Structure 1
Amino acid sequence: MTGSPWYRDGRMRYGVGIEDTFIPQERIGHRKLDEYELTQHYARWEADLELVAESGAEFLRWGIPWYLVEPAPGRFDWSWTDRVAAKMQELGLRCIVDLMHYGTPLWLENSFLNAGYPERVAAYGRAVAERYRHVWTDFTPLNEPVVNAEWCGLTGSWPPYLVGDDGFVTVMMQLARGMVRTQQEIAAANPAAVFVHVDAGFRYEGETSPVPRAFLDERRFVGLDLITGRVQTSSVLGEWLASHGVTAAELQWFRDNAVKPDVIGVNYYPGFTTARIEDGVMTPVRSDAAGLRDLVELYSARYGGVLAITETSLVGTPEEKIAWLRDSTAELTALRDEGHDIVGYTWFPFFTLVDWLYRYDQKQPDEWFREFGLVDLVRGADQGLERVRNSAFPAFRELAIRDR
């Protein structure tokens, strides 16, 4: 990489993402969740990448299935990722490599609870950066840390199946250590690497119970605040973490090892990013572009620097998707005109995903299809999932090409 990094040229880039949640662990009532398998991306990856290029996208958020690439500790199988990386290079697609999208390898005992997790994930990140140094230079160390800690540590839905605030904090501390160590190891392997840290946007409507809204408004930033060394012992987050066993020395480690995102990615979905919480029950509230503006202003004020919208889309008709494309990009244009340094817009997922709730029953994947994408999945008589462009596809392409 020579000259200024891509995110410093003042342009807005359009990209897409392929849903890449991998939870390979199974137990009674919890089946394997691998979005690439369920959407047949492993079989159709080449055509999928060609569709991404056809869409006009300049970049792609795409994840590596860690559990398959490192099937045993320290033993890597690059046979598939080598071909994918070469195809991306051929198509001229910038890949923002999603290194960790929720799941750990089967051999990592107790998943995120494993004492070796931070060093294991960092070693994996370094191995990827070294092998693909001349192809992939942009990395997300871990996607949506708060969502990860909620599903794995608060609600007990995913391994290691912890529950409550103690569980949330335990998992969050491990995730944050891993994020820091991963960035450090990648930067050592490739000093020109770019780090795009992706955070789920959370918005709350009205008063919340039993947890006060004022606290939830702080807790949503805990992942980024930890890795950037912002959490002070006497702060709201510092005192809350301490109440769940985090020591002053642990917080000092994060301040001593603070890492800086080159780009902060904010995820916003008009269908469920905003929620009302009453008596512990969360009800999604449909929002609009004003909610997107709210999050951009919040992240700009808290962290400064460069922002990108790393996920946005909705389940609806193609006409509704086109309307969201129009409204959301118009809001971002206004925000850029006001001085917010927004460099990317990502339609995520690019095609149909299988709802995560698929993991908990025996219904066919098709019954859990959620049509978020610019491309729909349609199962044929041969059981293959055909990729069918809907009318939002050319609308996205028009925007992406226009702004190049």
Structure 2
Amino acid sequence: MAGFECASQRRADKKRLDLIASTGHGQHVAADYSAVAGQGLRAARDGMRWHLIERMPGHYDWSSVEPMARAAARSGVQVIWDLCHYGYPDGLDIWSPAFPERFARFAKAAAAFVREQSDDVSYFCPVNEISYWAWAGGDMGRFNPSARRRSGELKRQLARAAIAGTHAVREADPRARFICAEPAIHVAPPSSRPKDVAAAEAYRLSQFEAHDMLVGRLMPELGGSPDVLDIVGLNYYPDNQWVLGAGAIPMGHHDYRPFREILTETAERYGRPVIVSEFGAEHTARPAWLNYVAGEVDAARKAGVPVEGMCLYPVLDYHGWDNDRVCDVGLFGFAGPDGRRPVYEPLAAELARQRPRFETAPDADDHRVVQLRREA
């Protein structure tokens, strides 16, 4: 899969980010979808910018989305639509009861819009990275709502919104499918002291809190239920494993946990299909990271873990959120005036080498580890 960076939050200095605009994806969307399809990527994550669509409460302008939906359809690319990728309309208080209620109304309208565009089954990610947003926006003050020491409160509020949004989408389109994209992490203790071991394990297990809220295992008063969680999305990057209170764990170190084990644990915990909803690396590490993640996914699938997709994210280079530096992370670079983008050939070559591994599904008899179920 291809992933188009679609973050639209306000930074701590109140500047609004719009990665669909700054990458040129909004301007060159037809060429972009044609390009990813040409690389054999027939599904994509993309985003609806809520702040553009609902400038006035209850009034929806789909002009920013319609060209994207048309371009994807023409190129034969199935889109998973992010409905809230860190951004929300100005004037809306994220801490208020109105936030999940208004998001649910928007989500229902978005599902109705998508259904009008195609008879295909629609896919949505209601609220992207609840856990990361709660940390970055609720503890670190990095972007909206730019709070400190309120991550738990923000996580609960975002879970409320995701739950309400999922139910609202189903009212408009009962066939709709959903992913919940959350960071997949591993945290090792800095020593063998029981206190350090317990602290590291508590931090590691916190990665499951958002999913647990959705299924109603954690804080059922938020409204979660088993049917809310559909496809479990895991976002995985080279710095997603670290020693508690210290730096990243290098691959090959004895504390580094194989990604296949993380995939297996998550699938067994929820009994749901899994996708790698984001993965990527920067500079020359891009093809090596694809090679590693693809190998781990292949191993997990052969062991019976239902991993159903991997999303190169982001598929386009972009400017850094805080300093506008060029982040060369994509399969494609910045577009020229004609919409054409340079291809990062080492990553394209690795993608071509990896694709044949996944052109056929593992035999059904191989699915021994995970028994899919619809109950939590």
Task: Confirm or deny a common fold (TM above 0.5).
Answer: yes
CA distance in 2, matches of 1:202, 1:403: 25
Q: Percent identity?
A: 24
Tell whether the 8 Å contact from 2:215 to 2:224 is kept in structure 1 after alignment.
no
**Given the alignment of the two structures, is residue 194 of structure 1 paired with residue 181 of structure 2, yes or no?**
no
CA distance in 2, matches of 1:257, 1:214: 26
1:67 to 27, 40, 51: 51
1:395 to 336, 350, 356: 350
Tell which has more relative contact order, 1 or 2 (C-alpha 8 A, sep 6+): 1
State the match for 1:143 in structure 2: 128
DSSP-derived class of the 2:244 partner? strand
State the match for 1:102 in structure 2: 86
**Given the alignment of the two structures, is residue 216 of structure 1 paired with residue 197 of structure 2, yes or no?**
no
CA deviations 1:378-398 (Å, max 9, x no partner) are 7x7x8x986210111243245
- Give the Å deviation of 1:226: 0.6
Q: Which amino acid aligns with 1:304?
A: G
Tell whether the 8 Å contact from 2:34 to 2:75 is kept in structure 1 after alignment.
yes
1:299 to 247, 261, 266: 266
2:301 to 330, 336, 340: 336
State the match for 1:11 in structure 2: none
CA distance in 2, matches of 1:346, 1:197: 14
1:130 to 112, 123, 127: 112
State the match for 1:277 in structure 2: 244
Tell whether the 8 Å contact from 1:59 to 1:95 is kept in structure 2 after alignment.
yes
CA distance in 1, matches of 2:33, 2:356: 17
Q: Which amino acid aligns with 1:374?
A: L
CA distance in 1, matches of 2:348, 2:257: 24
Tell whether the 8 Å contact from 2:29 to 2:67 is kept in structure 1 after alignment.
no
Tell whether the 8 Å contact from 1:230 to 1:255 is kept in structure 2 after alignment.
no
- Give the Å deviation of 1:30: 4.5
Change (3 A) 1:377 1:290: farther
State the match for 1:115 in structure 2: 97
**Given the alignment of the two structures, is residue 311 of structure 1 paired with residue 295 of structure 2, yes or no?**
no
Tell whether the 8 Å contact from 2:28 to 2:339 is kept in structure 1 after alignment.
no
CA distance in 1, matches of 2:172, 2:111: 6
Q: Which amino acid aligns with 2:114?
A: Y
**Given the alignment of the two structures, is residue 371 of structure 1 paired with residue 328 of structure 2, yes or no?**
yes
State the match for 2:235 in structure 1: 267
2:162 to 174, 179, 202: 179
CA distance in 2, matches of 1:266, 1:33: 24
State the match for 1:239 in structure 2: none
Q: Which amino acid aligns with 1:17?
A: G
Q: Which amino acid aligns with 1:287?
A: M
1:345 to 289, 307, 310: 310
Tell whether the 8 Å contact from 2:112 to 2:172 is kept in structure 1 after alignment.
yes
CA distance in 1, matches of 2:341, 2:266: 36
- Give the Å deviation of 1:332: 1.2
Q: 4+ residue runs of structure 1 moved beyond 6 angstroms?
A: 208-211
Tell whether the 8 Å contact from 1:229 to 1:259 is kept in structure 2 after alignment.
no
Q: Which amino acid aligns with 1:200?
A: P
Q: CA RMSD in A?
A: 2.4
State the match for 2:364 in structure 1: none
Change (3 A) 1:290 1:202: closer
**Given the alignment of the two structures, is residue 17 of structure 1 paired with residue 3 of structure 2, yes or no?**
yes
Q: Which amino acid aligns with 1:21?
A: A
Structure 1 window deviating more from structure 2 (30-39 vs 344-353): it is: 30-39
Change (3 A) 1:79 1:177: same
State the match for 1:169 in structure 2: 152
Change (3 A) 1:202 1:149: same
Instruction: Provide the aligned length of Structure 1 versus Structure 2.
Output: 348
Tell whether the 8 Å contact from 1:57 to 1:397 is kept in structure 2 after alignment.
no
- Give the Å deviation of 1:114: 2.6
Query: Structure 1 stretches of 5 or more lacking a match?
Result: 1-14, 232-250, 359-364
**Given the alignment of the two structures, is residue 324 of structure 1 paired with residue 289 of structure 2, yes or no?**
yes
State the match for 1:79 in structure 2: 63
CA deviations 1:236-295 (Å, max 9, x no partner) are xxxxxxxxxxxxxxx34346645432210111112x1112332xxx53334379542232
CA distance in 1, matches of 2:223, 2:26: 40
